[in-house]
Amino acid sequence: MSQNLGSTRNSSQLVVAAIQQACSENKAASLATSEMLIREAAAGGAELIILQELHATQYFCQTEDTRIFDLAEPIPGPTSEKLSGLARELNVVIVGSVFERRMNGVYHNTAVVIETDGSIAGLYRKMHIPDDPGFYEKFYFTPGDAEFNDGRSGFSPIETSVGKLGVLVCWDQWYPEAARLMALAGAEILIYPTAIGWDITDTQDEQARQLEAWVTVQRGHAVANNLPVVAPNRVGTEPDPTGHSDGIQFWGNSFICGPQGEFLARADDSSECILSVTLDRHRTESIRRIWPYFRDRRIDAYGDILKRVRD
């Protein structure tokens, strides 16, 4: 299923697609679904295609199991090479997700950005790592480096032929600091590949509150930074391998919003689908002229933001 709001390739417009899918225990099957949806998105005119977090596997962080490290792979590696081949064949930029094995004992939750020629434009290694019931990510993932070897911040946009992409990952979406640092570094789009869902035993009211908070905080990043936001999430119920809980029901609701937080496309909570929209590259500039947040920032008064707690 595809929702396409039009596609015209020119310098002022960019067709962006966000893919929402369910994932299988079989890595090859999950990647085959990703490939099918990437091909459909490209056939619909997408120039930038964004996959959800850890789209090649089920969400394995519901439990702590050292055998799961066998799923990790280097970059370049099988998943990134498959995405590279698709990007090159289809002439699109792809944002994928890899459980990265960086070296013995160091693993990352990594977004990989593939250029239209199949080359790797850049990596973003998830910076904020949760450790909550059902989301035991600290067991598996080392946080991304705060600074690259060339001096760039860990929150640096990735330069591509379709623009500067401010790629963040899931838990990063709750932190306004991450979005603002990407914006200050020149990001033209904020991108949040995601794997988030409900505890099946939560009440409907609690589930509604959690979903609304997730949507609202990201729309807030769009408004506060005058940037479009793309947030693809997974769907489907995935069991807890230990049997200690009923598992996670991933809530979908992937969305794309504009730089005033306006919904451009939004998925439901259960369907595999493609959201495709045409973004106006000039809207950020025009909005910042009338809402000049960046001009009016009081950077001389924000020093305490660097403290863990303000005493």
Express each pLDDT in 214-271 by its tens digit. 999 999 999 999 999 999 999 999 999 988 888 999 999 999 999 999 999 999 999 9
Write down the pLDDT at residue 5: 39
Give the pTM: 0.95
Please state the domain extents for the chain: 2-306
- 151 band by pLDDT with thresholds 50, 70 and 90: confident
pLDDT value at 2 more than 50? no
Q: How does strand 93-103 pair with strand 106-114?
A: antiparallel
Task: State the CB neighbour count (10 A cutoff) for residue 227.
Answer: 23
pLDDT value at 311 more than 60? yes
Query: What are the residue numbers of the active site?
Result: 53, 126, 170
- The CATH fold assigned to 2-306 is Nitrilase/N-carbamoyl-D-aminoacid amidohydrolase (3.60.110)
Give the distance, in angstroms, between the CA of residue 100 and the centroid of all CA atoms in the same chain: 16
- 10 band by pLDDT with thresholds 50, 70 and 90: low
Write down the pLDDT at residue 153: 87
pLDDT tens for 167-198 read: 999 999 999 999 999 999 999 999 999 999 99
Write down the pLDDT at residue 9: 44
Residue type present at position 21: Q
Residue type present at position 294: F
